[in-house]
Copies of this chain bind each other. A is one copy, B any other.
Amino acid sequence: MSDPEELRRILQAVSTGSTDVDSAVAAISAAAPSMDFAQLDLHRPARTGNPEAVYGAGKTPEQVIAILRHFAAARQDGLVTRVSDEMATKVIAALPATEWLPVPRLLLQRSGPPKAARGGVAVVCAGTSDLPVAEEASVTLELLGNQVSRLTDVGVAGIHRVLGRLDELRAARAVVVVAGMEGALASVVAGLVQVPVVAVPTSVGYGAAFGGLAALLGMLNSCAPGVSVVNIDNGYGAAVVASRINQAGLGPAP
């Protein structure tokens, strides 16, 4: 029974004799299915202001608008990923308060003022073509209340570009590395820092990149310990992992 107050109410009725035992057994049992799971807290309600992500590709603008209205009613932040120009135009026409971020192709509907940025996550990006995925990660991280440091275009073909920003890298509590092609940046970065590296292979590249497979395999086989990998182009997923790492040691949000 999820609602202790309801349980207490029934028990008090039993206690006062206004409900007999059989009726109480039946009431509690009948309520069990929904109660149980709430009691188990399997479905922890998302805290107010946390974004709920919607994968925009394959949905109609109408569906997205309906979902965002639902979020607004629930006072939750809403984040739509993989949004086309056409969808963005239609959604903004319907919901003018929505923000459109064209590089990461995100639509954002805030339920309140931005959360305070805490801790620090570095988002490292190998090439400018990887930027949309990196920005999907960075924006998501910021929405989740993380301080983000962006290191852009620091691919391993010019290793000095990574080394030249070592201080920023080492100041982070978690690092997201976004790279396509061979994905070597994850290994290089993981050899330079002591915190977890969340690697995002991108589908950038051609020919034998096979839509991100080369980068994915490269990152999974990183010779440097401390790397774990999310799905190809999944900047959002990396952000959720990195946010959890970053905030683990910060104590509860203010």
Q: Which A residues lie at the B interface, using CB under 8 A?
A: 1, 4, 7-8, 11-12, 14-15, 17, 20-21, 24-25, 28-29, 32-34, 36-37, 39-40, 42-44, 53, 55, 57-59, 82, 126-127, 129, 155-161, 163-164, 166-167, 173-174, 181-184, 186-188, 190-192, 194-196, 198, 201, 203-234, 236-238, 240-241, 244-246, 248-251
Contacts and interface: CB of A to CB of B under 8 A. Distances in A.
A32 B173 CA distance: 25
A32 B227 CA distance: 29
A230 B220 contact: yes
Contact of A156 (B14, B220, B224, B250): B224
Given A32-B39, A233-B206, A228 B194 contact: no
Given A188-B184, A217-B213, A230 B230 contact: no
Contact of A28 (B28, B43, B206, B212): B28
A30 B97 CA distance: 45
Given A181-B221, A245-B196, A248-B249, A40 B29 contact: no
Contact of A21 (B11, B198, B244): B11
B218 A207 contact: no
B228 A228 contact: yes
A137 to B, nearest CB: 12
A196 B229 CA distance: 12
A211 to B, nearest CB: 8
